[in-house]
Homo-oligomer: A and B are copies of this chain.
Amino acid sequence: MENKRPLILVSNDDGFTAKGISELIKFLRPLGEIVVVAPDAPRSGSGCALTVTTPIHYQLVRKEVGLTVYKCSGTPADCIKLARNAILERNPDLVIGGINHGDNSATSVHYSGTMGVVIEGCLNGIPSIGFSLCNHQADADFSPAHRYVQQIVSAVLKDGLPELVCLNVNFPDMPSYKGIKVCEQAKGFWQKEWETCPRENGKKYFWLTGEFTIVDSDNVNSDNWALRNGYVAVTLQQLM
């Protein structure tokens, strides 16, 4: 019977020990058989990057009825490729990334390792969803997202998604939400992106940082507007 349940492949970019993926697993367990293949350390900002210059490896962390967890030395996209090709015995019914500590809205989505997971699933014809919370803290409260994760995942398990379309779902950092809003990506840009990091050897060192400025903050159809106004923002990402 166990094998007839939907197989849900889960990964993230904050690493397998993050609270966000633990909470996601908890929300998803009633909906299917869960296999986690997630990075062994934080991999934020990975985008769709792959590891091509070194081998990668994976290890079993935990196995119990309905849940198997592996950690992997690769990027988020590597995790999905490795799971599909070398770990799982059947193709997953769903690929889910998250829940990310920090939002993946507006045009910043291109750098997102969470969406790297999702794009890798989507390119392989598997319905795929990314979840992110607008709170970067390690102990952020993911509980308001519980029923929305289950509602969205159940709907996609039932109806699927169009070819080469995946979902990017962002939750506001609020104790409850007004509902779900299907949005477009807000437009914006990063400024002041580097902080100098002096070192006395003649090279110039910099830490990535930055401030994101929204250009179309009045656009009531944008994910940014939805998040500011207490809605769960769902954007459809078309991969070509």
- Residues 170 to 221 of chain A near chain B (Cβ within 8 Å): 184-185, 187, 189-190, 192-194, 196-197, 199, 202-208
Q: Are A49 and B52 CB-contacts (below 8 A) given A58-B204, A59-B203?
A: no
Residues of B with C-beta under 8 A to A46: 47, 49
Minimal beta-carbon separation of A214 from chain B (angstroms): 13
Bound-state CA distance A192–B85 (Å) is 7
Give the number of copies in the complex: 2
26 residue pairs A–B, Cβ–Cβ below 8 Å: A45-B49, A45-B51, A47-B49, A47-B50, A47-B77, A50-B111, A50-B208, A51-B208, A55-B197, A55-B207, A57-B206, A77-B111, A81-B194, A82-B194, A82-B206, A84-B193, A85-B192, A86-B196, A107-B123, A107-B164, A110-B119, A123-B189, A125-B189, A164-B187, A184-B240, A187-B240
Measuring CB to CB, which residues of chain A are less than 8 angstroms from any residue of chain B? 42, 44-53, 55-59, 75, 77-78, 81-82, 84-86, 107, 110-111, 116, 119, 123-125, 164, 184-185, 187, 189-190, 192-194, 196-197, 199, 202-208, 239-240
